[in-house]
Amino acid sequence: MTLTADEVKQRARELGADAVGIASAAVLNAHPPDPKFPQTPERISPEIQSVIAIVKRIPAGAFRTKRLECVQYMDQLVLREMDKVCMRVAQFIEEEGGAYAFPLASQETKWEFKRASYGYLSGRHVAVEAGLGTLGLEVNFLSPEFGPRCYTTAVLTTAMLEPDQKLTRQVCIGEACSRCLHSCPANAVLQWGIDKRACSQFAQEFGYSVMLGQLQKFVQAADAETQVNILKTPSAYAVWQGLLRVVGAFGDCPRCLEVCPVGDDYVQWLADEHREIPEKTPEKVAIAKQMQVDRKAGKDLPGLSPWNIRWVGEEGYVPPRKRP
């Protein structure tokens, strides 16, 4: 028996996906996000024909809490839930569809790919190819329903499923909005790009490089008493907590997610809390204005190169009142 794309998508929604779409493996193989580090289905398994993109929204309440740990904990719960949905979708395809399927190792990164900052596939790009949204100014994935407050992953399968059409209109408002740039504590938001190293100081506050720094201090300490004192610091405790529950090691900074006005959840739950952006400065406003000028002038921008524009949206942003 073979399954249709609609049957697979309906089952994925019943199993808990908040949005689901299908991308052709051939298209993903032909358009890796960065050809120098090809994150393609064929490198995982050359037999893959279709990739099912799964999106799970992060409950908006997480972005109203004053305690960062609560956002981080919520993130981890959503990620685990998302993996379970994928597992069940893969089982469904194998049991009912006569094809093999498996979930993407979505949180694993590969050391050879930009020192472990890239995974085997980019869930964000797969979701764009599957027609579920487009990338934002800060290259988060933005869905029309949830803005950037969602996570993406995928199921890979040998089943031939009808792919969805990629969106060509920007979901992100773009330079005229720039609220993610205004809110970013690391000044990491570029024009359709991100300074990952700067971002990681806030988004991975107690991640791998911080742990290495702690270890280095520990092994270089002059004596045993200094070593014990290093282990008794709040940051050593935070690293341990990160190892135990991932909290603090990943997805730490919520700022560009909670201020983004795209998504039905923003209007309903977040607008009153996040309308004002305390981190906004005249310097940041000037940077955003310059970005607008550069875009209007058609300046060469790496984030909008002929290769990258497919994930941003070739038509640009069209305000709701002007849409057909």
Q: Nearest approach, Cβ of 288 to ligand SF4 (angstroms)?
A: 9
Angle at 261 between CA 259 and CA 267, to 5 degrees: 105
User: Beta strands of 137-276 (E only): which ranges?
Assistant: 141-142, 150-157, 189-190, 193-194
Of the candidate spans 27-35, 60-68, 102-110, 177-185, the one that interacts with ligand SF4 by CB under 6 A turns out to be 177-185
Residue with tokens 């329903």: 145
Strand partners, 142: 134
154 three-class SS: strand
137 forms part of the interface with ligand SF4 (CB under 6 A): yes
256 forms part of the interface with ligand SF4 (CB under 6 A): yes
178 forms part of the interface with ligand SF4 (CB under 6 A): yes
Which helix or strand (DSSP H or E) is residue 24 part of? strand 19-24
Of the candidate spans 19-27, 231-239, 242-250, 257-265, the one that interacts with ligand SF4 by CB under 6 A turns out to be 257-265
* Residue number with CB closer to ligand SF4 (54 or 180): 180
260 forms part of the interface with ligand SF4 (CB under 6 A): yes
The set of long-range contacts for 235-240, using a CB threshold of 8 Å and a minimum separation of 24, is 235/206, 235/210, 238/205, 238/206, 239/206, 239/210, 239/211, 239/214
Q: Of residues 177, 211, 239, 249, which one binds ligand SF4 by CB under 6 A? A: 177
56 forms part of the interface with ligand SF4 (CB under 6 A): no
Q: Of residues 31, 149, 255, 284, which one binds ligand SF4 by CB under 6 A? A: 255
Q: What gap in Å lies between CA 160 and CA 14, rounded to an integer?
A: 21
Number of chain residues interacting with ligand SF4 (CB under 6 A):
28
180 forms part of the interface with ligand SF4 (CB under 6 A): yes
Q: Nearest approach, Cβ of 174 to ligand SF4 (angstroms)?
A: 6
Q: Nearest approach, Cβ of 19 to ligand SF4 (angstroms)?
A: 17
173 forms part of the interface with ligand SF4 (CB under 6 A): yes
Q: Of residues 124, 179, 274, 284, which one binds ligand SF4 by CB under 6 A? A: 179
Structure-block tokens of residue 231: 């282990």
Structure-block tokens of residue 110: 């590969």
DSSP 263: S
203 forms part of the interface with ligand SF4 (CB under 6 A): yes
Q: What gap in Å lies between CA 139 and CA 118, rounded to an integer?
A: 14
Q: What gap in Å lies between CA 62 and CA 254, rounded to an integer?
A: 9
Q: Nearest approach, Cβ of 268 to ligand SF4 (angstroms)?
A: 16
145 forms part of the interface with ligand SF4 (CB under 6 A): no
Instruction: State the helix-helix crossing angle for 208-220 and 224-231, rounded to 10 degrees.
Output: 160
249 forms part of the interface with ligand SF4 (CB under 6 A): no
Structure-block tokens of residue 196: 């990952």
190 forms part of the interface with ligand SF4 (CB under 6 A): no
Number of other residues whose CB lies within 10 A of the CB of residue 283: 9
Q: Of residues 52, 127, 150, 188, which one binds ligand SF4 by CB under 6 A? A: 188
Binding mask 78-117 for ligand SF4 (x = CB under 6 A): ----------------------------------------
* Residue number with CB closer to ligand SF4 (31 or 179): 179
Q: What gap in Å lies between CA 12 and CA 79, rounded to an integer?
A: 16
Strand partners, 141: 135
Residues making contact with ligand SF4 (CB under 6 A)? 136-138, 142, 172-174, 177-180, 183-186, 188-189, 194, 199, 202-203, 253, 255-256, 259-262
